[in-house]
Each structure stands twice: as C-alpha cells, then as structure tokens.
C-alpha cells in the first residue's frame, strides 16, 4: 500500500466521525490504516483516498457495515465495574421500583447502549431478577444495542468463555449458565429478557425511536467519540429517559465540559447522572 498522505487520513477520519461519532486523533493514523488494510485489499484499493471515495459514494452503504465492524472496540465482560452495579442494585433500582409501585406503573425499560457481545444487558437482567421478586407481574424491557453486526450476532447466541465471566460472583454463574465443553451458555430465562438491535448512536432517527427509558447504560463508549458527537449522543439520551431516569457512564467518563443538563447524583459506591 502506498504511503499514507495526511489529508487522505483526515478525509476518512472525518467521514467516520460523521457517520458513527468515533474520532481518530492524528496519532492514531497508522492504527486506523492497519485496521483498514484487509478491507482495502479485499476490494482492490491501494490508497486510502480510493477507499474513501468508494465509501462516500457507494449507493448501497454496505461497506460501512464492514468498516464499523472493524473499528468498534468490543472489550467487555459480565459484572464489569462492580461498584457501579452495586449502586444500581442496592440504591437506585429499589427506589425506582418503589416509586413505580406507588404509581401502579409496573414497567421498566433498560437500555444497554454499545452492548458489544451482550455481557452487560444480560448482567442487568440477572440483577433485575434478583431485586424484583414479583417480576412476572412486570413488563420488563431490556434492550442491547450496538452498531457492530458481528458482536450483536454473538450476543444473541449467548455463549461465552471463562474470560467473560471472570468477575462474576459464583452464584450467578451457577444459577444462570449451563456449562459444556468449557463454554458458558446463558439460560433461556435470562436470554428471553433481552432484545438486541442495531442502533447508531449519532443517527437522530434511530435515537428518536428509543423512548421512555428508566435506565441507560453507556459505559466506555463515549471515550472514543469526538466532543461534538458526545454532546449530541448525551442530548439524545436525555430525551430518551423518563423523568427520574438514570444514565450510567464508564468509570473514566464524565459529562464535565460536555453538558450540564443532567444532575450528578452521588451514591455510596459511585456517581451517576439523573434526569430531573
């Protein structure tokens, strides 16, 4: 492949950011190129400019799916960031459930945005089963969304290795998984609680379809986005949440300098954003 010209990189970098919000700084230029080399060879393109032109003017848009699958980061595991999950389980969820009971609103909607291979939404399903004894009388909707079609396929299968369950309390592994040939299979009771779908977090039409959420988990996703994309996505999240709903971000993520529309709520184990 010919030497990469900086302007070619900027054109492609900006197109990617426009489409999915992910932003590559200048020092990530060769990281991006390494990710794209396979697709460029498969399509017969020698320069990044040729590939950029194909992406931009391809009427089908199918190549963007391949591109998104290459570029999104998929590191995740069950019960990631346990202190935050304890806050959800022991402090936030009980109060929201109690409020719903008082108002005779037996419905909860939970959204795992950027769910990757599904560990997060399945974890949340386990916690809801734990904390709502009469859950059969509730309408529970847990949505796992991602832009990467490959990881969503794996999420729907619900089959994991030990690496994915390494932080999981043992009782959950015993209760909610079947083990065979060193593989961990999500039991149907959990699997049936979660629906997976493709959502592009910077697509306004897709985001407007995500309404009446009580909880949104978008952890370790926005760190890859441009500041402009972050602000756009967070505003969409705000519109998606019910009043009194909560937004959970990754432990290194903050809305400082992005927006002040959420209230920062302090709990024993973590900080969480709330829509007042």
Q: Sketch out the chain's domains with CATH numbers.
A: 6-71 (1.10.155.10), 82-274 (3.40.50.150)
Cα three-residue angle 58-66-145, rounded to 5 degrees: 115
Q: pLDDT of 210-219, one tens digit each?
A: 999 999 999 9
Taking the alpha carbons of 152, 55, 27, 20 in that order, is the dihedral positive or negative? Answer: negative
Exposed / middle / buried, residue 274 (Cβ in 10 Å: 0-12, 13-18, 19+) = middle
Is 117:171 a contact under the CB 8 Å cutoff?
A: no
Q: What is the 3-state secondary structure (H, E, C) of 49-72?
A: HHHHHHHHHCCCCHHHHHHHHHHC
The predicted model gives 236-261 an average pLDDT of 96
Q: pLDDT of 18-69, one tens digit each?
A: 999 999 999 998 888 888 888 999 999 988 889 999 999 988 889 999 999 9
C-alpha to C-alpha distance for 258 and 232, rounded to whole angstroms: 9
Distances (CA, A) of 112 to 118, 128, 136, 144, 219: 9, 14, 21, 5, 9
> How high does pLDDT run on average in the chain?
94
The predicted model gives 130-156 an average pLDDT of 97
Is 233:262 a contact under the CB 8 Å cutoff?
A: no
Its pTM stands at 0.94
C-alpha to C-alpha distance for 94 and 96, rounded to whole angstroms: 6
Angle between helices 29-43 and 48-57 in degrees, nearest 10:
70
């Amino acid at each position: 492949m010919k030497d990469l010209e900086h302007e070619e990189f900027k054109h492609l970098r900006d197109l990617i950011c426009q489409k999915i919000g992910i932003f590559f700084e200048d020092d990530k230029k060769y990281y991006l190129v390494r990710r794209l080399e396979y697709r460029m060879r498969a399509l017969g393109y020698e320069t990044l400019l040729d590939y950029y032109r194909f992406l931009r003017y391809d009427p089908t848009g199918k190549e963007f799916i391949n591109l998104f699958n290459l570029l999104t980061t998929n590191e995740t595991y069950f019960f990631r960031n346990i202190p935050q999950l304890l806050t959800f389980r022991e402090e936030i969820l009980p109060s929201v459930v109690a409020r719903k009971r008082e108002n005779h609103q037996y419905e909860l909607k939970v959204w795992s945005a950027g769910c990757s291979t599904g560990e997060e939404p399945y974890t949340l399903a386990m916690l809801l089963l734990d904390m709502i004894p009469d859950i059969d009388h509730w309408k529970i909707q847990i949505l796992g969304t991602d832009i990467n079609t490959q990881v969503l396929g794996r999420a729907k299968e619900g089959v994991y290795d030990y690496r994915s369950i390494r932080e999981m309390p043992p009782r959950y592994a015993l209760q909610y998984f079947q083990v065979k040939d060193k593989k961990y299979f999500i039991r149907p009771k959990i699997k049936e609680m979660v629906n997976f779908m493709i959502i592009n977090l910077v697509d306004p039409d897709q985001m407007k379809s995500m309404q009446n959420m009580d909880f949104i988990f978008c952890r370790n996703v926005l760190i890859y986005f441009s500041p402009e994309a972050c602000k756009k996505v967070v505003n969409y999240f705000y519109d998606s949440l019910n009043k009194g709903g909560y937004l959970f971000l990754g432990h290194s993520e903050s809305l400082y300098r992005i927006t002040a529309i959420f209230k920062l709520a302090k709990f024993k184990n973590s900080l969480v954003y709330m829509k007042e």
